[in-house]
């Protein structure tokens, strides 16, 4: 869209305004003013926090309309939908979010909301197709109308995922339909419905349901993100549950870019997470070294494999030391490309969670090593599935006798 309202869009608005009652016509005029200004709607950014490390993990880009006739934002988007210009408006918001990426703090992601039925629209599709590398962007699908056919949507998501896009699904926990959407779309991030967050520290049933959804998300190799955290006790309950990501007014309100995390809150998160980690078995004890090769020097890896007959794989890293693929001995010697589908885990990820995530992967990737990364996404080492299975066997005790293993035996093996 140019600096003025396009001819087709203007015509649609004119038709909608002519047919609308006075109040609706005023809304349409307010919308026309927004579309005539390339700087609107403006964006605020709400922090998303790593609930294991007590740091900012990302931000959500939120559209804001200054005209009271279009506020809150849901009203503005509904006015656009009624006028037939919803796709133009959502495409503009996505474009604005992409424009914010160059200033995004290092090692953070940025989420932006898109209606699933509009993702395949020419307007939104063109913005994403022409953006190049989408790696820092997370597209959050917010379904306000029931979507019957997922075929076109899955095809569009697959295309954009190949360009580096991450997919998040909003309002998980809204009954069977929400679980069905998770199965159909396989998002990498699942947002817990806000209704399950409020007073979770006082409601064991809510806590159990949140745990169930988190377990289900983990089996799909997705991260759970809890939104709507407004009280310290709610925050502590989700940290103790092992939820990796949190969002809410307690952690940070929507604001101009880029708000930080309150120092005391960061300390609290690390303290509570630290106490939990002492009682949990985590993957850091299973990490082993595998040599890394820069992505621009992958061709040189062949010589390394020839020189070391015991070397079975190398990890391909980018200029920031972040893993971008796996290169096996067979692939390197045969001149085949690196494998780009890799599973990343943090040092504090529970081993049982890693096992579940591994089993949820595609069959061709299921037995590949997972890549352990630090809080900045930098490569630390690999975790082989054999080590995970060995840990599980040790946890179950002696296979021959069924005798439970003691803690000393588990830690000494």
Is-above-0.95 flag for pTM? no
Last residue of a domain, one of 278, 311, 326: 278
Is 115 within the bounds of a domain? yes
Nearest-angstrom CA–CA distance, 158 and 62: 25
Is 1 within the bounds of a domain? no
Same domain (yes/no): 99, 197: yes
Q: What is the mean pLDDT of residues 165-188?
A: 82
Same domain (yes/no): 351, 239: no
Number of Cβ within 10 Å of residue 156's Cβ equals 18
Q: Which of 266, 276, 321 is nearest to 47 (CA)?
A: 266
Same domain (yes/no): 272, 293: no
Is 192 within the bounds of a domain? yes
Alpha-carbon torsion (320, 321, 325, 329), positive or negative = positive
Last residue of a domain, one of 256, 278, 300: 278
Same domain (yes/no): 297, 397: yes
CA-angle at 298, arms to 361 and 286, nearest 5°: 45
Same domain (yes/no): 370, 263: no
Nearest-angstrom CA–CA distance, 413 and 409: 6
Instruction: Check which CATH number belongs to the domain holding 25 and give it.
Output: 3.20.20.450
Mean pLDDT of all residues belonging to the chain? 84
pLDDT in tens, 364-385: 888 999 999 988 888 999 999 9
Same domain (yes/no): 266, 294: no
Last residue of a domain, one of 278, 298, 319: 278
Same domain (yes/no): 243, 367: no
pLDDT at residue 42, rounded to an integer: 94
DSSP states of 312-329: -EEEEE-TTS-EEEEEEH
- The helix (H) or strand (E) run that includes residue 393 is helix 385-396
Is 24 within the bounds of a domain? yes
Same domain (yes/no): 302, 398: yes
* Alpha-carbon separation of residue 307 from 302, 303, 313, 341 (angstroms): 9, 6, 13, 27
Is 213 within the bounds of a domain? yes
Domain holding 164, by residue range, is 7-278
Instruction: Check which CATH number belongs to the domain holding 363 and give it.
Output: 3.10.580.10
Q: Are 276 and 240 spatial neighbours (Cβ–Cβ below 8 Å)?
A: yes
Q: If you ran DSSP here, which 8-state letter would residue 16 be given?
A: H
pLDDT at residue 364, rounded to an integer: 87
List the single range of 23-27, 109-113, 155-159, 257-261 with lowest mean pLDDT. Answer: 23-27
Is 2 within the bounds of a domain? no
Q: Which of 41, 29, 172, 53 is nearest to 112 (CA)?
A: 41
Same domain (yes/no): 331, 389: yes
Same domain (yes/no): 177, 310: no
Is 386 within the bounds of a domain? yes
How many domains in the chain? 2
For a pLDDT cut of 90, what percent of the chain falls above it? 42
Same domain (yes/no): 48, 190: yes
Same domain (yes/no): 290, 311: yes
pLDDT in tens, 148-176: 566 788 889 998 988 889 999 987 766 55
Is 60 within the bounds of a domain? yes
pLDDT in tens, 48-95: 999 999 999 999 999 998 888 888 888 888 898 888 999 999 999 999
Alpha-carbon torsion (293, 294, 295, 296), positive or negative = negative
């Amino acid at each position: 869209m140019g600096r003025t309202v396009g001819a087709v869009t203007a015509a649609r608005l004119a038709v909608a305004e002519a047919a609308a009652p006075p109040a609706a016509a005023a809304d349409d005029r307010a919308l026309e003013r927004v579309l005539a200004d390339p700087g609107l709607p403006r964006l605020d950014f709400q922090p998303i926090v790593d609930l294991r490390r007590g740091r900012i993990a990302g931000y959500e880009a939120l559209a804001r309309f200054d005209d009271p006739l279009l506020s809150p934002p849901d009203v503005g988007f509904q006015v656009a939908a009624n006028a037939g210009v919803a796709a133009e408006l959502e495409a503009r918001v996505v474009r604005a979010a992409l424009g914010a990426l160059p200033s995004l703090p290092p090692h953070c992601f940025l989420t932006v909301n898109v209606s699933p039925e509009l993702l395949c629209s020419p307007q939104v599709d063109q913005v994403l197709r022409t953006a190049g590398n989408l790696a820092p962007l997370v597209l959050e699908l917010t379904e306000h109308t029931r979507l019957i056919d997922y075929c076109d949507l899955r095809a569009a998501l697959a295309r954009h995922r190949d360009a580096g896009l991450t997919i998040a699904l909003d309002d998980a926990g809204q009954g069977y339909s929400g679980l069905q959407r998770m199965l159909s779309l396989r998002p990498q991030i699942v947002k817990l419905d806000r209704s399950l967050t409020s007073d979770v520290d006082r409601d064991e049933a809510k806590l159990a349901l949140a745990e169930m959804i988190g377990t289900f998300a983990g089996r799909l190799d997705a991260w759970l993100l809890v939104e709507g955290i407004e009280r310290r006790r709610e925050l502590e309950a989700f940290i103790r549950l092992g939820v990796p990501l949190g969002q809410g007014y307690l952690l940070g309100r929507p604001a101009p870019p880029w708000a930080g995390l309150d120092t005391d809150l960061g300390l609290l998160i690390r303290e509570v997470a630290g106490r939990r980690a002492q009682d949990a078995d985590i993957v850091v004890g299973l990490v082993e070294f595998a040599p890394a090769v820069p992505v621009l020097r992958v061709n040189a890896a062949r010589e390394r494999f020839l020189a070391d007959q015991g070397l079975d794989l190398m990890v391909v890293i980018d200029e920031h030391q972040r893993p971008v693929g796996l290169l096996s001995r067979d692939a390197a010697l045969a001149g085949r490309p690196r494998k780009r589908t890799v599973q990343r885990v943090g040092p504090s990820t529970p081993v049982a969670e890693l096992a579940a995530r591994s089993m949820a992967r595609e069959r061709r990737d299921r037995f590949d090593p997972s890549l352990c990364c630090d809080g900045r996404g930098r490569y630390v080492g690999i975790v082989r599935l054999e080590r995970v299975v060995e840990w599980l066997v040790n946890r179950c005790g002696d296979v021959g006798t069924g005798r439970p293993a003691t803690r000393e035996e588990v830690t000494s093996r």
